[in-house]
């Protein structure tokens, strides 16, 4: 039985606590009285995943069994979440591979010939052949790539289809192949409450034209948080779009969830609570930290990105998206949610080496912003862990470093746009169209492995709610110039950061450290 999440109050017996800091980590002594939010212990994984997949396909919710939806002569499109999920990547075989193989077996048994597989990458970069192979497995890859296993191309106008408009006037436009299929099977990994459900098809297969209705400052400022769908304007928009899609396309959603085993055995101490580290964990901590410091930076990055998570699968559920997703969300929250009593003056987060958009890549400053003020700040229900006007302290070196192939428009965004303004509304008003329609960025998105031109702006919007809510943002160990460019401050140590925060929160602030990863979601009462 896994122990539930809990909130620790730091006292004199509390050891130094682990703090992720980019491609490294450290132990940090927090001030007495600080609260630390820990997620529930990792849930046990399903014993027989294949059997669970079979059961889910045979007894879906809100849909007939998959085998009854398949017939010879039909067009079947299998869409799967791209490499932004899960984080870190899971050890092979990937759950998507296992599910897809079952779906393909069922399709073959029914004589379905016309099958295509599409990565639902929206405006993310294309997955490389090697990444596709890792996700769907060697057998599927060899059978379908390259003609029937593809990345979605949100700029291939010929192959997009407008489904219609929601009652709010939002255009729903998705991949034509999927839209014109008799059945879309969407294979998903719901890592956080933000993902899956209505988001899968309406976002994963959409175009910029369609995405801009919910990926904007206004919507994100009113998504409190975007990990709490009932209170997220973004999800309200997804729901409207999904409802329209449901009237026009037949979607069979297969959603999977994972537990919190994010680090492999040799780094198990990263999955544990510090005071429970045994001698072996302590030795592993020292050894890994030392080795990590000694490895050259490029090699270090490579090692981190190759370190796959030994996730256990906690759920496989299939059926109608609107019926499956609540079950999925329950599973996710069971693993991640911890109840917290009220917000504090200061919130602290250690930022890991990875976010959805730097898999096998570099965590550039914009992605640091989106991970910190977007993803981690928004890991709450009800209210943020920091009070309005409070201070967020993050741990990350924030190097001025970009991947020139994956993030070309990010570089321009950082150098030009942020030099002019950091205000999300001003950025959206003046620059969004330029970045979204720039032919070079579009060319690189379609033909190279670049994120879409507008993507860095979306990442900035991702932090819009936090920017509005917080009084100050400080990065411990952050590069001074880089953080300054983004409108934030940097401090050498936590003590310095707390000293700087005094201007906003006084000399005796309440402090909450959201200990993640593994992922902890705060239910702030």
Partner 1 sequence: MKQVALEYHRSVGRYLAGRAITGTRLGGRAAGSVAAGLAPLRVVQRPDPTLPASGWTRVRPLLSGICGSDLGLLTGRNSPYLASLVSMPFVPGHEVVGETLDELDGLPRGSRVVLDSVLGCVTRGLTPCASCAAGKHGRCDNITTGHLAPGIQTGYCADTGGGWSRQFVAHRTQLHAVPDELTDEAAVLVEPLACAIHAVRRADVPTDATVLVIGAGTVGLLTVLALRAFTKAGPIMVIAKHARQRERARELGATEVIGSDRALRTLRRKTGGFVVKPEIGEEFLLGGADVSFDCTSGSGLTTATRATKAGGTVVMAGMPNTDVDLTPVWFRELTIVGGYASSGEDFPDAISLAQDAPLGGYVDAVYSLRRWSEAIQHATSAGRLGSMKVVFNPRLD
Report the interface residues with partner 1, using CB under 8 A: 411-412, 415-416, 434, 438-440, 443
CA distance 281 to 267: 8
- Residue the block writes with tokens 């990994």: 189
CA distance 181 to 149: 15
If the CB atoms of residues 105 and 415 are measured against partner 1, the closer one turns out to be 415
If the CB atoms of residues 105 and 416 are measured against partner 1, the closer one turns out to be 416
To the nearest whole angstrom, how small is the minimum distance from the Cβ of residue 297 to partner 1?
22
- CA-based nearest residue to 254, from 86, 71, 54, 109: 54
If the CB atoms of residues 18 and 442 are measured against partner 1, the closer one turns out to be 442
If the CB atoms of residues 208 and 413 are measured against partner 1, the closer one turns out to be 413
DSSP character for 351?
Answer: B
CB 137 within 8 A of CB 96: no
Concatenated DSSP letters for 23-54?
Answer: S-EEEEPPPTT-EEEEPPPPPPPPS-HHHHHH
Spell out the residues 6+ positions from residue 195 whose beta carbon is closer than 8 angstroms to its own.
81, 85, 188, 189
**Helix and strand tally (H, E) in the chain?**
22, 20
To the nearest whole angstrom, how small is the minimum distance from the Cβ of residue 449 to partner 1?
15
If the CB atoms of residues 180 and 415 are measured against partner 1, the closer one turns out to be 415
To the nearest whole angstrom, how small is the minimum distance from the Cβ of residue 402 to partner 1?
11
To the nearest whole angstrom, how small is the minimum distance from the Cβ of residue 440 to partner 1?
5
To the nearest whole angstrom, how small is the minimum distance from the Cβ of residue 412 to partner 1?
6
If the CB atoms of residues 7 and 411 are measured against partner 1, the closer one turns out to be 411
CB 258 within 8 A of CB 95: yes
To the nearest whole angstrom, how small is the minimum distance from the Cβ of residue 414 to partner 1?
10
* Tokens (6 digits) for 292: 């990590």
Helix (H, G, I), strand (E, B) or coil at 316: strand
HSE-up of 508 (CA within 13 Å, CB side)?
1
If the CB atoms of residues 142 and 430 are measured against partner 1, the closer one turns out to be 430
Q: What ranges in 347-438 are assigned the alpha helix state H?
A: 365-369, 408-412, 418-420, 424-437
DSSP character for 376?
Answer: I
To the nearest whole angstrom, how small is the minimum distance from the Cβ of residue 420 to partner 1?
11
95-109 and 49-58 are packed helices; what angle lies between their axes, rounded to 10 degrees? Answer: 50
If the CB atoms of residues 138 and 415 are measured against partner 1, the closer one turns out to be 415
To the nearest whole angstrom, how small is the minimum distance from the Cβ of residue 455 to partner 1?
16
């Amino acid at each position: 039985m896994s122990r539930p999440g809990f909130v620790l109050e730091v006292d004199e017996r509390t050891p130094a606590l682990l703090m992720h800091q980019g491609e490294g980590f450290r132990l940090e002594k927090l001030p007495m009285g600080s609260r630390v939010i820990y997620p529930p212990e990792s849930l046990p994984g399903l014993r027989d995943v294949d059997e669970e997949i079979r059961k889910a396909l045979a007894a879906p919710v809100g849909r007939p069994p998959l085998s009854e939806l398949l017939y010879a002569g039909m067009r079947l499109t299998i869409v799967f979440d791209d490499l932004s999920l899960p984080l870190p990547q899971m050890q092979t075989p990937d759950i998507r591979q296992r599910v897809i193989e079952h779906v393909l077996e069922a399709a073959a048994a029914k004589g379905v010939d016309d099958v295509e597989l599409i990565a639902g990458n929206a405006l993310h970069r294309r997955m490389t052949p090697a990444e596709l192979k890792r996700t769907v497995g060697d057998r599927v890859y060899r059978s379908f790539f390259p003609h029937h296993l593809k990345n979605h191309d949100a700029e291939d106008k010929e192959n997009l289809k407008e489904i219609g408009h929601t009652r709010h006037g939002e255009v729903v436009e998705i991949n034509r192949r999927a839209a014109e299929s008799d059945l879309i099977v969407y294979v998903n990994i719901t890592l956080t409450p933000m993902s899956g459900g209505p988001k899968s098809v309406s976002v994963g297969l959409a175009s910029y034209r369609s995405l801009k209705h919910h990926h904007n400052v206004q919507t994100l400022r009113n998504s409190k948080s975007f990990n709490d769908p009932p209170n997220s304007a973004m999800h309200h928009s997804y729901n409207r779009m999904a409802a329209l899609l449901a009237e026009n396309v037949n979607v069979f959603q297969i959603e999977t969830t994972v537990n919190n085993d994010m680090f492999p055995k040799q780094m198990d101490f990263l999955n544990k609570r510090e005071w429970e580290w045994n001698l072996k964990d302590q030795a592993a901590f020292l050894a890994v930290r030392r080795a990590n410091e000694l490895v050259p930076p490029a090699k270090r990055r490579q090692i981190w990105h190759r370190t796959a998570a030994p996730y256990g699968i906690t759920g496989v559920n299939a059926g109608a998206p609107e019926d499956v997703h609540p079950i999925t969300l329950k599973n996710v929250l069971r693993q991640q949610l911890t109840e917290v009593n009220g917000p504090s003056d200061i919130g602290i987060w250690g930022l890991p080496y990875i976010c959805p958009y730097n898999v096998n890549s570099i965590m550039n400053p914009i992605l640091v912003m989106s991970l910190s003020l977007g993803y981690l700040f928004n890991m709450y229900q009800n209210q943020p862990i920091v009070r309005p006007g409070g201070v967020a302290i993050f741990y990350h070196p924030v190097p001025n470093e970009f991947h020139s192939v994956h993030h070309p428009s990010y570089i321009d965004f950082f150098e030009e746009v942020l030099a002019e303004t950091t205000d999300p509304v001003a950025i959206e008003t003046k620059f969004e169209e330029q970045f979204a329609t720039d032919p070079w960025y579009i060319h690189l998105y379609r033909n190279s492995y670049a994120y879409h031109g507008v993507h860095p702006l979306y990442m900035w919007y991702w932090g819009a709610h936090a920017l509005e809510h917080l009084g100050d943002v400080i990065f411990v160990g952050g590069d001074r110039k880089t953080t300054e460019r983004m409108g934030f401050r940097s401090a050498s140590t936590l003590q310095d950061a707390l000293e700087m925060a005094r201007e906003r929160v006084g000399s005796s602030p309440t402090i909450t450290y959201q200990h993640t990863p593994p992922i902890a979601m705060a239910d702030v009462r």
